[in-house]
Amino acid sequence: MGARYDAGFATFTATRMPASPNNLIWIDLEMTGLDPDTDSVIEIATLVTDSQLNILAEGPELAIRHPLARLEAMDDWNRGTHTRSGLWQRVLDSEITMAQAEALTIAFLADWVPAGKSPICGNSICQDRRFLVRHMPRLERYFHYRNLDVSTLKELSRRWSPQVLAGVEKVGAHTALSDIRESVKELAHYRRHMGRLGGLPEAGDGA
């Protein structure tokens, strides 16, 4: 059975399963810059995993409408990155507003995770959360107050175990959904090196 979301401007389908408080919500935003007070969100994507990091569903990947002047005001890095990824043109072509993107995302998440249960998951996720507070406050309140930031493990690996960090595969496409998928894979990689904390069978364990 599928859950279908159609507001006239975006449609996506996911296989419906019972919402679980143990499921994890992963999110990534693409922004015009780093300051939530002066910059804006131009793309949002979410996906849901179970507690073992298996992807259960991918939500809508939404480019959010902004005028050309807003994009042209970005710095060189953002202009180049979002042009190469195709996001620049997708934003100009989009008919989706910030409020619509927020509503569609919440509608998707409601089928998978009860409100207030999942930490917000991703890479450098505190930055995304700052933008949600400013631009999508209803969505920000959907998350638990805790953060699951893969960047914490990245920084610890850099200092404690560089060989583990070297095994992380990064494409760096800088589109929201591709970045989330990379974050899930990155956490799964670190998990394999966590020993008992990772909850995986260890060598020598009886089957």
Q: Which residues are catalytic?
A: 145
Print burial letters for 24-35: b (CB count within 10 Å at least 16), e (below 16): bbbbbbbbbeee
Cα–Cα distance between 24 and 19 in angstroms, integer?
11
Q: Which helix (DSSP H) or strand (DSSP E) does residue 13 occupy? A: strand 11-15
- How close are the terminal C-alpha atoms of the chain, in Å? 35
